[in-house]
Amino acid sequence: MSRAAGRAVRDAAEPGGQTRPPIRQPARPIRELADPVAAQIAAGEVVERPAAALKELIENAADAGAERLQIEIAAAGRERIAVHDDGCGIAEHELALAFRRHATSKLERVADLSRLASYGFRGEALPAIAAAAGRVRMTSRPRGAARAARIEFEDGVSLGLRPAARAEGTTVEVDDLFANQPARRAFLAGPRAERAAILRTATDAVLARPGASLRLRLDARSPLAHEPAAGDAESQLRAAAASVFNNRAAERAAWLERRSEDGAVALDGLAGASDDARRTRDGLRLFVNGRPVHDRRLSFAVQEAYRGWLAAGAFPLCVVRLTVPAEAVDVNIHPAKTEVKLRDPGAAFGLIQRAIREALARESYRSPPRLGARSHEAEQPDLPDQAEPGSTTRPVFDGTGPRVALPTPVPRAAVLAEPRLGGWEQASSAVRDERLPPLRMVGQLHRTFIIAEGPAGLVLVDQHGAHERVVYERLLAAPEDAARALQPLLEPVLINLDAAEAASWSAARERLDGLGFRVEPFGERTLRVRAVPAALQTADAERLLRGVLADLGDEPAEPERFDRAAASAACHVSVRRGAVLDPPAMAALLRDLERCRQPHTCPHGRPTLVEIAADDVLRRFGRK
Interacting residue ranges for other proteins, rule: CB under 8 A: 474, 477, 480-491, 493, 531, 534-535, 537-543, 595
Residue type at position 444: Q
Least distance CB 533 / other proteins (angstroms): 8
d(CA 58, CA 431): 39
d(CA 556, CA 510): 11
Least distance CB 477 / other proteins (angstroms): 7
d(CA 241, CA 199): 14
- Burial of 217-244, coded b for 16+ CB within 10 Å and e otherwise, reads bbbeeeebebebbeeeebebbbbbbbbb
Quick one: 179 or 534, whose CB is closer to other proteins? 534
Of 303, 290, 429, whose CA–CA distance to 357 is shortest?
Answer: 303
Cβ atoms of 81 and 202 closer than 8 Å:
no
Quick one: 414 or 588, whose CB is closer to other proteins? 588
Quick one: 334 or 595, whose CB is closer to other proteins? 595
DSSP symbol at 483 = T
Least distance CB 480 / other proteins (angstroms): 7
Task: Give Rg (Cα) of the chain.
Answer: 29
Least distance CB 487 / other proteins (angstroms): 5
Local structure of 593: helix, strand or coil: helix
d(CA 495, CA 399): 56
Least distance CB 351 / other proteins (angstroms): 33
Of 423, 312, 307, 438, whose CA–CA distance to 368 is shortest?
Answer: 423
- Burial of 313-337, coded b for 16+ CB within 10 Å and e otherwise, reads ebbbbbbbbbbbeeebbebbeebeb
Exposed (0-12), middle (13-18) or buried (19+): which is 576, by Cβ within 10 Å? exposed
Number of Cβ within a 10 Å radius of residue 402: 10
Least distance CB 449 / other proteins (angstroms): 18
Quick one: 89 or 603, whose CB is closer to other proteins? 603
Of 425, 238, 384, whose CA–CA distance to 317 is shortest?
Answer: 238
Least distance CB 492 / other proteins (angstroms): 10
Quick one: 481 or 555, whose CB is closer to other proteins? 481
Quick one: 303 or 487, whose CB is closer to other proteins? 487
Report H helices in 209-246.
233-244
DSSP symbol at 357 = H
Quick one: 421 or 495, whose CB is closer to other proteins? 495
Least distance CB 550 / other proteins (angstroms): 15
Cβ atoms of 439 and 596 closer than 8 Å:
no
Least distance CB 443 / other proteins (angstroms): 16
Least distance CB 494 / other proteins (angstroms): 12
Quick one: 96 or 489, whose CB is closer to other proteins? 489
Cβ atoms of 98 and 138 closer than 8 Å:
yes
Quick one: 266 or 493, whose CB is closer to other proteins? 493
Quick one: 247 or 537, whose CB is closer to other proteins? 537
Quick one: 412 or 474, whose CB is closer to other proteins? 474
d(CA 90, CA 527): 68
DSSP symbol at 103 = -
Quick one: 431 or 486, whose CB is closer to other proteins? 486
Least distance CB 578 / other proteins (angstroms): 11
Exposed (0-12), middle (13-18) or buried (19+): which is 55, by Cβ within 10 Å? buried
Least distance CB 596 / other proteins (angstroms): 11
Exposed (0-12), middle (13-18) or buried (19+): which is 64, by Cβ within 10 Å? buried
